[in-house]
Amino acid sequence: MLGRRLLHSLLMLFLLLTSVFFLIRLIPGGPFESDRILAPEIQVQLETVFGLRDPLPIQYLNWLCSIARGELGVSFQQPEYTVRELIRLALPISLGLGSMALLVAFLLAVPIGVLSAYALENQRYRFLDQVIRILVLCATSVPGFLLAYGLVWVFSIQLGWLPPGLWAELLDRPAYWVLPTLTLALRPLALISRQIRGSTLEALRQDYIRTARAKGLSQPRVLLRHALRNAWIPVIGLFPPIAAQLLTGSFLVESIFQIPGLGRSFVNAVLNRDYFMVLGSTLVFGVVLIVANLGSEALLLWADPRTRRQESP
Amino acid sequence: MRLLNKLMIFFLTGVILTACLGPLFLEHSPETQNLSRRLEPPSQTYWLGTDSLGRDMTSRILQGTRLSLLIGFSSTLIALLIGTITGAIAGFFRGRTEVLILGVIDFFGTFPTLLLAMLVSMATGRGLPGILISVALIAWLQHARLVRAQVIQARQLEYVEAARALGLNPYRILWVHILPNIKGPILISASAQIPSNVMAESFLSFLGLGVHPPFASLGTLASDGSRLITSHPHLIFAPGATLFLTLLAAQYLGDSIRDYWAEEKHPEGRESSVG
């Protein structure tokens, strides 16, 4: 079943790249039309060099051939690099930031979700669940750029604790990672903690929890060892939307904090009509989304034996 | 929580009314520039200060709120229209049509949303139509999936069978009999989508793909203000806070409506989740 899904995903990826290839040519303006106007001859010359004067179907075939060879073309913005080299430089940064954000989100969301469910179960702490609910709602309601600038304003401009942007290796200067990671982590955090809260509540209603309580197990043990054990499984199903969120988030966070990751170079590439860079990044993003999709499905099969026998509808 | 619901309704109504009627009472128009009074902090004459061209931030924010809400509503409406038609057709007729429509939905699903939005709004040029189309193109998938699932469920019910037995035209069954019966969940998901569309618009505006100047949505205002964050933080935080609070109220209400609906449908589940 996963094999068929993979084939389907690859077909979709191919369609995606093809449509991006043609759609991006529909955008008015070209890669060499900037504020400083080039002489027409130079522009023609440049376009000839990059093969942009061939008929579009020919260009498309050429590009497909180059992909088959594992080449992604050159970047118009930085012609000294190939797109593959640029991606190789930028992707690890984005992946590192994304996994860091995911880690932070997960580590914070699980206790928040469990606490929230526990509070709802006990009449005395009902207000705590409401407080958490509103905080989580705040997290989903705040536009990313506003959050980023809010954090910068408080922690960099007012307090001067953290750098407002730029980038350094995690081990050299962890301070540079704090604000981007927080900004990126907030949305997945909200998503995961909602899921954990819901599925913990669901689990607490089951018979095996009643049994555990009847045995006289302590409340934390029932929650963490028995309820959470089943409750975290649906979180795996959230990986695809989280991957999409992190992707979109990386465009924003990397642009605001001037991080040289793939998200920022992608936004710049689209705005500058850097055709091959856009296509190369789209390919990477598509692969990331497919991996998240199929990976979460495979993980679900592994984590929950009940899903193994079910046929997909 | 009843109290908070009322509070949010009150706040949202207030925002909508102020945004629509406020300009009638304000002395400064959002477009009038006053270069001798640039970048003023909030004061008695200019409640929320002035921007880099000396325009009154209060009336600009009101105008921006109006525009943001307008974009949120109309893009949801467009998405609802496309999603309902495609989803209903896919769910009702099944077979090849469904496979085709599902393929299209899947295809749009693999598109990184931001790329799609950027491509569309760059192709159509900056302006309201481009923004509406690109936000709606992201949003319609959700409706199409939901409507399809609902229609598949409904077409097995007896009233549809009865309508069929009467020999009614399938389109008539779909639009006159099925759709009115499943409108609840569809409208709920649409109401939840308005804030996320407003957010998507602010995101595009932040990247410079928003509406034309001199018009500005809340997102455009905040992103313009972000350049002067060190010296004049009110330029980003006044429109930003408006955007945030409006979205928060809208999402809170959306959640409450959804919970209420779930309670109506499955009262037994709700009971134990409270207990």
User: Domain of B110: which CATH number?
Assistant: 1.10.3720.10
Structural domains in chain B (count): 1
Q: Which of residues 153-192 of A touch B (CB under 8 A)?
A: 153, 157
CA count, 13 A, side-chain hemisphere, A5: 13
* Residue B233 near chain A (CB below 8 Å): yes
* Residue B11 near chain A (CB below 8 Å): no
Q: What is the pLDDT of residue A171?
A: 66
* Residue A244 near chain B (CB below 8 Å): yes
Minimum-distance CB partner of B112 among A9, A26, A282: A282
pLDDT in tens, chain A (313 residues): 778 888 988 888 899 999 888 888 877 777 776 656 677 777 777 777 777 777 888 888 888 888 888 888 788 777 788 888 888 888 888 998 999 999 999 999 988 988 888 888 777 788 888 888 889 989 888 888 888 888 888 888 888 787 777 777 766 677 778 888 889 999 899 989 988 888 888 888 888 888 888 888 877 778 877 888 888 888 888 888 888 888 888 888 888 888 888 888 888 888 888 888 889 989 998 888 888 888 888 888 888 777 665 544 4
Would residue B64 count as lying in a domain? yes
* Residue A144 near chain B (CB below 8 Å): yes
A contacts of B206 (beta carbons < 8 Å): 143, 145, 252
Per the DSSP assignment, residues forming a β-bridge with A82 are A74
Would residue B252 count as lying in a domain? yes
Minimum-distance CB partner of A149 among B106, B195, B226: B226
Taking residue B56's Cβ as centre, other Cβ atoms within 10 Å add up to 26
Minimum-distance CB partner of A16 among B111, B114, B230: B111
What is the distance in angstroms between the Cα of B142 and the nearest Cα belonging to chain A? 13
pLDDT at B272 exceeding the cut of 70: no
d(CA A220, CA A117): 12
Q: What is the pLDDT of residue B275?
A: 28
Q: What is the pLDDT of residue A34?
A: 63
Q: Are the CB atoms for A23 and B119 separated by under 8 Å?
A: yes
Q: What is the pLDDT of residue B76?
A: 94
* Residue A291 near chain B (CB below 8 Å): no
Q: Which of A135, A29, A126, A101 is nearest to A248 (CA)?
A: A101
Q: Is the Cβ pair B112, A244 closer than 8 Å? A: yes
Would residue B100 count as lying in a domain? yes
d(CA A92, CA A284): 12
Helices then strands, counting H and E runs in chain B, come out as 11, 0
d(CA A14, CA A7): 11
- Chain centroid, CA B130 distance in Å: 15
Q: Is the Cβ pair A142, B244 closer than 8 Å? A: yes
Q: Which of residues 247-266 of A touch B (CB under 8 A)?
A: 247-248, 251-252, 255, 266
More confident residue, B45 or A125: A125
B contacts of A138 (beta carbons < 8 Å): 248
> Position of tokens 């105008």?
B63
Amino acid letter, B271: E
Please give the structure tokens belonging to residue A206. 């089951």
SS3 per residue for B195-259: HHHHHHHHHHHHCCCCCCCCCCCHHHHHHHHHHHCCCCCHHHHHHHHHHHHHHHHHHHHHHHHHH
Mean model confidence pLDDT for chain B? 83
* Residue B192 near chain A (CB below 8 Å): no
Would residue B45 count as lying in a domain? no
Would residue B241 count as lying in a domain? yes
Would residue B65 count as lying in a domain? yes
Q: What is the pLDDT of residue B265?
A: 66
Q: What is the pLDDT of residue A309?
A: 59
A contacts of B273 (beta carbons < 8 Å): 120, 201, 205
Band (pLDDT 50/70/90 cuts) for residue B73 is very high
Question: Which SS3 state, helix, strand or coil, does residue B123 take?
Answer: helix
Band (pLDDT 50/70/90 cuts) for residue B214 is confident
Q: Which of residues 83-112 of B touch A (CB under 8 A)?
A: 106-107, 110-112
Would residue B80 count as lying in a domain? yes
The dihedral over CA atoms of A156, A158, A161, A167, expressed in degrees to the nearest 10, equals: 10
Peptide bond into B214 cis (omega under 30): yes
Minimum-distance CB partner of A153 among B113, B223, B233: B233
pLDDT at B37 exceeding the cut of 60: yes
* Residue B235 near chain A (CB below 8 Å): no
Q: What is the pLDDT of residue B90?
A: 92
Q: What domain range is B120 assigned to?
A: 3-20+58-268
Would residue B127 count as lying in a domain? yes
For chains A and B, what is the number of CB pairs under 8 angstroms? 114
pLDDT at B129 exceeding the cut of 60: yes
pLDDT at B72 exceeding the cut of 50: yes
Q: Are the CB atoms for B194 and B250 separated by under 8 Å?
A: yes
Band (pLDDT 50/70/90 cuts) for residue B270 is very low
